[in-house]
Amino acid sequence: MSDENKEKIIPETPEDEKEKVEGDWKWDAAVPETKTDDITLDDLAPIMDKEEAPAEEEKAQEEPAEEAEEAPAEEEKKEEKNETEEKAEKKADGQCVICGNSTKNSPNDLYCEDCARKFLRTHFGIPQVVLAFVMVFFAAFSWFVCVSTVDFSAQLMKVESLISEKRYTDAIGAVEKLSTDVATVDQGFNATLATFNKNQNVVDFFVDGERSMRILLDAYVDSLPFSQEQIAQFVNIVSVEVDKDKLETRKYEKIKKMYDYCVEVNSYSNEIGPTWYTFMYTDEKTSEQKIKYDEAIAFLETCPNDTPAQKSLNGYYRYIAAYFAEKDKEVVFEIFDNLLEDLGEYSYLFDFIYLQVAWTYEDYDRVEVIADRLYEANINATDAYYYSIKANILQGDFTKADERCERMFKDNPEAIDYYAVKAEILRRMGKYQESIDICKKGVAVEQDASIYNQQAISCMLLDDKAGALDAAKTAYEIITVSTQGQASYEILNTIALIGKLCDDEETYENVKALFEAGQEPTELDEKVKKCIEGEITFEEIFMEGYGDI
Amino acid sequence: MTIVYVISKYLTIIGASLKALWEQVFCRILGIPVQDASYLNSTELCGHIEHDFTESKLKSFLICYLPGLMNRFFGYGMLIGGYLGLFYLEVSSEDTIFWVYLAMLYVGISLMCNNAPLYEDALYNWDMLYGKEQKTNIIVKILAFIPSVYFIVSAFMEKYAISLLVYMVAVLLGIFVI
């Protein structure tokens, strides 16, 4: 073996120890990185002879040659065992298991300092170190992305679960929350980038993905009412947010179907709308909207009535005609019943309109049926359910009203409407104190004007004028501060009435001014005026008939 | 089957290289002599380094467990994040993060396909802990049982590139089913 090769094999060995090391340990055989191309058997012979001779002699004495050939595995095992035992002995003596030198100064208890450096391969190549650093950096970044993605996915799964439970309003709210959270994480990401580079442009790195938009649109499809405004909004969202190619895929099948329906409704409305509105006019004497009923119906008879979109709009116009022509409720209901039958799978679009129509015509049994249907289709349709509760109250069936109210609360624990409705039921049952108690519970959850309004009414009925005025003034405060004067006609009139009855002219005048300052100036309700004048009592307004202003 | 194994290792080159690096690092930490430290080659050692069998049960267990653990620690985040981003959130290829998710998914799969020890090491670990002549504490046996079985199963799966196949099926499910 050449001297040059020897140097390559043991480059790290200090010069002063070189002689000693070479004498104790044959690096040529121990270091696998050694180039063996130019090693000949002659080079290895002295080493092999020296190391293997005693072992072979021992073996030759112990075992015959034929047996050794038959059981090489056993021999190997024995060799390994001997080697292990030898190593264990050396280890116990504080000697290097390879060269037999002292392990005293070595960081390892098995090998001496030199052998450890040579044989444990302490050095790593630059590519390996670079790979490790890049991977650590990428892994850290990935974990950050992963945590955010898992959070977004969990929120989206919740949305899907809400949709499967037919909680469409909650689902839409949850998708909106997801979008807000994505924007917040994006803000944080951009702020972090800005610390490295102040000129960094803001990037929308995190996105909520196409699935959330599809789920949102699915939820819209299932809870869409037949309203031209809502239909136009739906068409706009789909055309902006969804690629035309994607709309053709299986995942978007439901959305595509509704989109096509809505587009056709829009185009058909543009087609017959201008002619239709020529039949509407304003009565000069009464200033009321009227319609040339026979002409309008005759026109609709000439219109095509084949597709769901055409049937929907034709039916809707028929209802409008009947309504403005002040037809009997039987005529109106017949129009709706026929329309719903014709529309089949699209009939749910008209349920809410039908409910309001039934309410307007005071057909409370019908209200209950439609409200139940709406509630089954969308558990979050508390406004529809409120109609049925109110119908029960007007029918004098307070127990049923209470049952419905409790069911609504059970299904929608976060619905603040529950407290006001429950308070109203208790009040109508004559349980004023319980009504006040439930109102107090409600305002502890959320400061809501309608709950304070119910509390004020119950206090008045209990003859607690101070409590009533206090609650009415709080309701007024909430209306003016939180909702910028936006409140229901009934609540504002009740506040004005209680203010007047409790000798608080300021509140009364403020509400009156609020009515007069509106876009369409109005006056206080007739019932309020009559009550102030003493023509009717407070109890008559709130404990009889409709039970409200 | 070596060719299939080698191909699977080169397809997941990042994970294979990193796994071998962790093995080398932990051999160094545990004081296990390394015989061949080349990370990628065309033998069944591809993606591993060749080292001596250890003398202690603990070292045998740790050299099987720790390098894979490092790859899993890095890999889980990338795999889960990438998979959810691409197939659940359905991020569009027009968004920057799509490419990040794609890189995460590839590197994640690459790391997760390389978290098993060498099959021989896994068998040796089993022999050290549960071999006939071994006197292993019963509690140690119980605690190490599941990981030891996992080493053998995962090493077997890697040996025949089954783990890569499983992840490829998962990706196809993500594309066409989820």
Do B31 and A208 make contact, defined as CB atoms within 8 angstroms?
no
Q: Which of residues 51-90 of A touch B (CB under 8 A)?
A: 84, 87-88
**CA nearest A336: which of A38, A321, A325, A531?**
A321
Could you give the number of structural domains in chain A? 4
Residue A321 lies in a domain: yes
Residue where a domain stops, chosen among A315, A335, A361: A361
Residues A134-146 have pLDDT tens digits of: 888 888 899 999 9
* A202 & A228 share domain: no
Partner residue opposite B96 with nearest CB, options A108, A205, A211? A205
Note whether residue A168 is domain-resident: yes
Q: CB-based burial of residue B46 (10 Å sphere; 0-12 exposed, 13-18 middle, 19+ buried)?
A: buried
pLDDT in tens, A277-317: 899 888 888 778 889 999 999 999 999 989 999 999 999 99
Query: Does the distance separating the beta carbons of B89 and A149 come in below 8 Å?
Result: yes
Are A228 and A347 in a shared domain?
yes
Tell me whether B88 touches chain A (CB under 8 Å): yes
Hey, of B50, B70, B78, B107, which one would you mutate to test binding to chain A, going by the most A CBs within 10 A of its CB? Answer: B78
Judge if A43 and A152 occupy the same domain. Answer: no
**Chain B nearest C-alpha distance from A59 (Å):** 24
Domain count for chain B: 1
* Residue A396 falls in which region: left (phi positive, over 0), alpha (psi -120 to 50) or beta: left
Q: Which class for B128: exposed (0-12), middle (13-18), buried (19 or more C-beta within 10 A)? A: buried
Kindly state whether residue A395 falls inside one of the protein's structural domains.
no
Instruction: Please state whether A371 falls in left (phi above 0), alpha (psi between -120 and 50) or beta.
Output: alpha
A385 is a domain residue: no
> Is residue A46 in some structural domain?
yes
Residue A368 forms part of a structural domain: no
- Asked if the Cβ–Cβ distance from A156 to B88 is below 8 Å, we say yes
Q: Is residue A399 domain-resident?
A: no
* Together in a domain, A240 and A309: yes
> Both A349 and A248 in a single domain?
yes
Q: Do B90 and A119 touch (CB under 8 A)?
A: no
Q: What is the pLDDT of residues A187-234, one digit of tens each?
A: 988 888 888 887 777 778 888 888 888 888 888 898 888 888 889 889
CB within 8 Å: A145 and B104: yes
Print the domain residue range for B64. 2-176
- Cα A205 to Cα A185, A202, A208, distances in angstroms: 9, 9, 10
Give the residue from chain B lying closest to A115, CA to CA.
B33
Same domain flag for A215 and A228: no
Q: Does A202 touch chain B (CB under 8 A)?
A: no
Residues on chain A touching B90 (C-beta within 8 angstroms): 209-211, 214
Residues A106, A18, single domain; the answer is yes
Interchain proximity B95–A111, CB inside 8 Å:
no
pLDDT score of A7: 43
Nearest 10 degrees: CA dihedral of A232, A234, A237, A241? Answer: -140
Q: Is the Cβ of B85 closer than 8 Å to some Cβ of chain A? A: yes
CA distance B138 to chain A (A): 25
Last residue in a domain, options A73, A103, A119: A119
Q: Are A206 and A265 members of one domain?
A: no
**Residue numbers of the domain that contains A47:** 3-119
**Tokens 């979109």 map to which residue?**
A309
Question: Exposure of A14 by Cβ count < 10 A (0-12 exposed, 13-18 middle, 19+ buried)?
Answer: exposed
**CB under 8 Å to A216, separation ≥6 — which residues?**
A171, A172, A175
3-state secondary structure of A410: helix
Per DSSP, the three-state class of A67 is helix
Distance CA A291, CA A33 (A): 101
- Do A350 and A479 fall into the same domain? no
Q: Are residues A175 and A92 in the same domain?
A: no
A229 and A350 together in one domain: yes
Q: Mind listing the pLDDT tens digit for each residue in B55-65?
A: 788 999 999 99
* DSSP string of B14-53, one letter each residue: HHHHHHHHHHHHHHHHHT--EEE--S--SSTTTTS-EEPP
Q: Going by DSSP bridges, is the β-strand pair A289-291/B34-36 parallel, antiparallel, or unpaired?
A: unpaired
pLDDT 10s per residue in chain A (549 long)?
A: 444 444 444 444 444 444 444 444 444 444 444 444 555 555 555 545 544 445 444 444 444 444 444 455 667 666 766 766 766 666 666 777 777 777 776 656 667 777 766 666 556 778 878 888 888 888 889 999 999 999 999 999 999 999 999 898 889 889 889 999 999 999 988 888 888 887 777 778 888 888 888 888 888 898 888 888 889 889 999 998 888 888 888 889 999 999 999 999 999 999 998 998 899 888 888 778 889 999 999 999 999 989 999 999 999 999 999 999 988 889 999 998 999 988 888 888 999 999 999 999 999 999 999 999 998 888 888 888 888 998 998 888 999 999 999 998 998 888 888 999 999 999 999 999 999 999 999 999 999 999 999 999 999 999 999 999 999 999 998 888 876 656 788 899 999 999 999 999 998 998 888 888 776 778 888 999 999 998 999 999 998 877 887
Residues A255 and A271 in one domain: yes
Instruction: Cite the DSSP H helix spans in chain B.
Output: 2-11, 13-30, 57-83, 96-112, 119-130, 138-159, 162-176
